[in-house]
Amino acid sequence: MITFESILSQPVSREAFHELVEKRFASGADAIRQKAQRIERKFPQLKTDTIRKADMALEGTQVLPGTGGKPYFTGNPPRWADNPVNDAEYVWGLNRMYHWLPLLRAFSLTGEGIYAQKVVDELRDWIRTCPRISLASPHEFHGVHPWRSLEVGIRTYFSWPLLIPHLLGTEFLSPDFLAEYATSIFEHGEVLFHVPPKLWPGADHNHYLMENLGLFSLSCLFPEFSTAETWKAHAVRELERCAAAQMTPEGGQIEGCPHYHSGCIDFFVRALSVAESNGVGFSREFTSRIEKGIDYAMHSLRPSGTAVPWGDSDAEDAGPIRSALNGYRLFHNPDYLRIVVNLCGVEAVRARCVEDIWEDFGSHETLAAIDKAAATPDAISLPLDSWQKSLKQVMMRTAWSHEALSVFFACRTPVNNTHAHIDPMGFDFTACMGVR
């Protein structure tokens, strides 16, 4: 049986461990408070929207796959393993704890403890009612239950780490609760270290990318773990393998699907962000493939301001805009901002930037760079064509403007997996004729 005392490299009391974590995350907690104050001053609508979503989560309702796009009562606390709508994605989505984000943010924005207490109560309930399945059966971690390995990864890079900076310095992050939380995180780490390599030995699936991102994040979250350095080295090595296996030399993600391409770029960028914060380095080849991947996201953006809906994709702007923001933040290339401002509109780009202010996109500097990009729309050096030889795709346009013509050709078979389910020989042509 795993206990708090058994997971640490050096024996310390719960109080001493709590003190170590408080010191390490002090600056992160300060940054959260500063963001909350800035939202209060500059973006009151964002605060209103956040509290509305948090209040819905307080009532035990969420919008999940299978609920028809409408709020659905999931239980209070949620019934983590139930599948009342007969949709596997419902169970998986519920156990990613996305609804904790508005709850934690509402607490930081208002100071009202009811939001923090809801997260604490739900985590304790989840630990009590969702015991981990046996590591001896790795393929069982691919089932419809709270411990599917993909959700283990998503929880540990996305939702669960947010508890510390939002709750730090309050009664809600007590030494006993922190110990419970860390012990469960350690159980997650054991899954991510032992199971995914058996499920994805070729490192060629986006699930494996997210699972190793989770392992990398949690090993940096708690360096006090006895296995932290081993897990970190493994995760970095496997993330490098993911980039080599999943990103072609031309910068395309192997599924040939713009939606999943932009998602994977975001996961790789998160890995670089965690690395930067923890003094870890990735290879130049790794970052080069990510930079080329951002170029791909720009080329797959139609003049109409939506991504080409190829494969398992929707015609939307969120992925390309986020890729552009990531590209600007990482590589300081204003071309990315100019492209999305030209094609999606400055207000859409600013709105996405503000929406992601908790993740540092909504900084003064980035918002000013967006406005500057809008003032210099023609200063774009990115080529007008992209030949993705490995994916058998070609993207061409007449200009980086809303009035341009664009065409996306694809001739590719077999596909990498079921995300690329489309005729392997076809095209997408866009002509806006000046109408947005």
- The reported pLDDT for the residue numbered 415 is 66
Under DSSP, is residue 421 helix (H, G, I), strand (E, B) or coil?
coil
- The reported pLDDT for the residue numbered 23 is 96
Mean pLDDT on 362-367: 79
With b for 16 or more beta-carbon neighbours within 10 A and e for fewer, the 118-139 pattern comes to bbbebbeebeeeeebbeeeebe
Per the structure block, which two tokens stand in for 288? 């080069």
Report the candidate in 244, 143, 233, 144 with the shortest Cα–Cα distance to residue 195: 143
Return the minimum-mean-pLDDT range out of 146-150, 166-170, 363-367, 416-420.
416-420
What is the spatial distance between Cα 341 and Cα 434, in angstroms, rounded to a whole number? 15
Report pLDDT digits (tens) over 223-242.
999 999 999 999 999 999 99
With b for 16 or more beta-carbon neighbours within 10 A and e for fewer, the 188-201 pattern comes to bbbbbbebbbebbe
| Start and end residues for every CATH 1.50.10.100 domain found in the chain | 1-200
Question: At 331, phi and psi to the nearest 5?
Answer: -115, 0
Report pLDDT digits (tens) over 317-327.
889 999 999 99
What is the spatial distance between Cα 363 and Cα 330, in angstroms, rounded to a whole number? 14
Q: Are strands 393-397 and 405-411 parallel, antiparallel or unpaired?
A: antiparallel
For residue 322, what is the enclosing H or E element?
A: helix 318-331
The separation between the first and the last C-alpha atoms of the chain, rounded to the nearest angstrom, is: 60
Three-state SS string over 385-411 comes to EEEECCCCEEEEECCCCCCCEEEEEEE
What is the spatial distance between Cα 159 and Cα 233, in angstroms, rounded to a whole number? 23
Q: Which CATH class is domain 1-200?
A: mainly alpha
Q: Is the pLDDT of residue 435 over 60?
A: no
Q: Is the pLDDT of residue 348 over 70?
A: yes
Q: Helix axis angle, 175-194 relative to 113-129, nearest 10°?
A: 50
Mean pLDDT on 14-21: 98
What is the spatial distance between Cα 321 and Cα 366, in angstroms, rounded to a whole number? 13
Average model confidence (pLDDT) for the chain? 94
Our measurement of the distance from residue 323's CA atom to the centroid of its chain's CA atoms, rounded to an integer in Å, reads: 12
Tally the residues of the chain: 436
Return the minimum-mean-pLDDT range out of 185-199, 358-372, 373-387.
358-372
Mean pLDDT on 159-185: 97
Instruction: Name the percent of the chain lying above pLDDT 90.
Output: 86
- The reported pLDDT for the residue numbered 63 is 97
Report pLDDT digits (tens) over 71-97.
999 999 999 999 999 999 999 999 999
With b for 16 or more beta-carbon neighbours within 10 A and e for fewer, the 309-339 pattern comes to bbbbbebebbbbbbbbbbbbbbeebbbbbbb
Our measurement of the distance from residue 362's CA atom to the centroid of its chain's CA atoms, rounded to an integer in Å, reads: 16
pTM, two decimals, is: 0.95
Residue 375: pLDDT band with limits 50, 70, 90? very high
- The reported pLDDT for the residue numbered 414 is 64
